[in-house]
Structure 1
Amino acid sequence: MAFWTYMLRCSDDSFYVGHTDDLERRIAEHRSGFYTGYTYKRRPVTLVWSQDFTERYEAKVAEKQIKGWGRPKKEALIRGDWEAISLLAKSGSGRS
C-alpha cells in the first residue's frame, strides 16, 4: 500500500499540506467540500505537489516537516528546486 504527502494551492493562494492513503479520493474530497476544514471555504483547490511513501509514518513526518516551512521553501518544493530548498534551509529564511 502506498501513502502520499500532498500540497494544495487554495483559491486564496494559501497552501494546504496533508497526507493520505488514497490521493485521488482525498483530492476529490477537498474539491467537493466533503470535509468542512481548512480548504472548505478556500475552494477551488489545485494539487501542486505530491510524493508517495511506503509507510504511513513517513508521509506523516513529511507532512509535519513541510507544514513548518515558509512560503518560499514550499514554492521551491513545488518547482522541484532542491538547490533553493537547501539555501533557504541554511539561511533560515524558509523557516525549518
Structure 2
Amino acid sequence: MAHSLHDTPTRYEWSKAKSLLPSNAHYERGLTGALIPDAEGQTDHVAVVYDEGETPPEITINKVSGSVHTVLANGVAVAVIASANSKAPRVADVLLVERQVLS
C-alpha cells in the first residue's frame, strides 16, 4: 500500500521544510546547526550540516534543565532547544545533511 505525506509522522515531514539556511548565508567549513521551519509553522526541526567527504557526526542530545536541551555534533553544541510542550528531541529527529564544499 502506498503511503502519502499525510501518513507520515510529523517529525519526519522534511519535505515541508522551507529552507536549511538563508540564501545570503556565508558558508564556512565545519559542522553547522540549522533550524528548519515547518512550512505550516507547526513543527520546526534541527539539521546538522557537515562537509562532503567527512564522516557524518555523532549526534547526542543533553538535557540542560526542564525542557531545555542541547543538540551536539561530535560533542560540540550546534543547537539549543527550549520546548514549551516538554517533548524532548530525539537523535532520530535530527536530520544530517552533507554539504558540497567548493574549493
TM range (shorter): under 0.3
Per residue, is there more strand in 1 or in 2?
Answer: 2
TM-score, structure 1 normalization: 0.27
- Please, what TM-score do these two structures have when normalized by structure 2? 0.26
